[in-house]
Chains A and B, each alone.
Chain A
């Protein structure tokens, strides 16, 4: 191994003595020193009286000592515990200690055999006697089967009952047909529900479901209105439309029908002036008559 000079220098600074020592073991022992050491130590101990001779010690132990050693130790422990329990009980309750191992509750001999009779002498009756008291009939027939049937009664019973019932042969209905009827019934029920719902949903107000402005030109033509400019005959188209239809249409378009009627009477110029009303009570009647006449001329 090489010396590390730095460590050597450091050691030299710390302890010149140590650094001067060579790398050799200072502690040396003679050859075989440890092999003889126990014997030497034992001999010294014997001489000083600390340890007795082993041969002499073995002779002091009785024969079979270790066989009974465990039992001996256990017995001693139990004895000590028993003593300590006894002492603690005595300390807690001297009275309990004094009556220990004596049963304080004692009953005379045969006490329970006669107890029931002492409680209720009536119970001494046997079951048979008791039954006799309640019902003599039952006591008489108690072990007898009173229900008897003739031999083979149950073998022919079902035939007898059927013959008495006079059952008509059941009408045979094919399964397929039943299923068919059921199918129609369900279909009818569902249809009913659909129709009922439809009636409820469809608005009852006349004209309520009309969306006329969605009418396409084709639909208009379908309704019989001719749109070709040369042959428009609007007047003819109005022919089938009644008074009530027009009123309904105007109302549905937010028109006040009465106001519209008055407005349609004509130009305001032709209306009577306020003075006319003052001069003649029948101004309005005359005016209306004039309008009617004019309309008739048209």
Chain B
């Protein structure tokens, strides 16, 4: 019986390990972007190790709730309202860890990170476009 279980374990583990290794490269990129977000926020808020250990678990809950709202098929105003409600709900929790000033900074930087990404996206597209149309460089 022990041998039998061992066989199953090896086969299953092998499959899942392989699945992980061959995991979607897109997911890796998304993880990297999220890691950059964490790095950016940590840096901008000057989080200490102790603060980071308290802040990121709360942020995980906050992020889960916001994403749940974003996944719903809602109108723009309605969605923004729900996200705002979540932000208000978590404001106190963040304040307890970061203080009110840095909590405000967090909400600003959270938006700015995505703005930076959008800006980067725009630049990437422009670069690509310009490479396809070299005449524009002259203008």
A residues touching B (Cβ–Cβ < 8 Å)?
A: 183-184, 186-188, 190-191, 194-195, 198, 202, 206-207, 209-217, 219-220, 223-225, 227, 229, 232, 234, 237-238, 240-250, 252-255, 257, 260-261, 263-265, 289, 291-293, 295-296
**CB of B21 within 8 A of chain A?**
no
Given A227-B39, A263-B118; A206-B27 close (CB under 8 Å)? yes
**CB of B117 within 8 A of chain A?**
yes
- State the Cβ distance, A182 to closest chain B Cβ, in Å: 10
Residue of B19, B26, B64, B69 ringed by the most chain A CB atoms within 10 A: B26
| Interface hit among B2-10, B88-96, B97-105 | B2-10
Q: How many interface residues does B have (CB within 8 Å)?
A: 60
Taking CB atoms, residues of chain A closer than 8 Å to B54 are: none
**CB of B107 within 8 A of chain A?**
no
Residue of A188, A210, A232, A234 ringed by the most chain B CB atoms within 10 A: A210
- State the Cβ distance, A243 to closest chain B Cβ, in Å: 5
Tell me the B69-91 residues at the A interface (CB within 8 Å): 69-70, 79, 83
| A213 adjacent to B59 (CB under 8 Å) | yes
Interface of A is mostly: helix
Taking CB atoms, residues of chain A closer than 8 Å to B38 are: 212-213, 215, 217, 220, 225
Residue of B nearest to A187 (CB): B7
Tell me the B84-134 residues at the A interface (CB within 8 Å): 114-115, 117-130
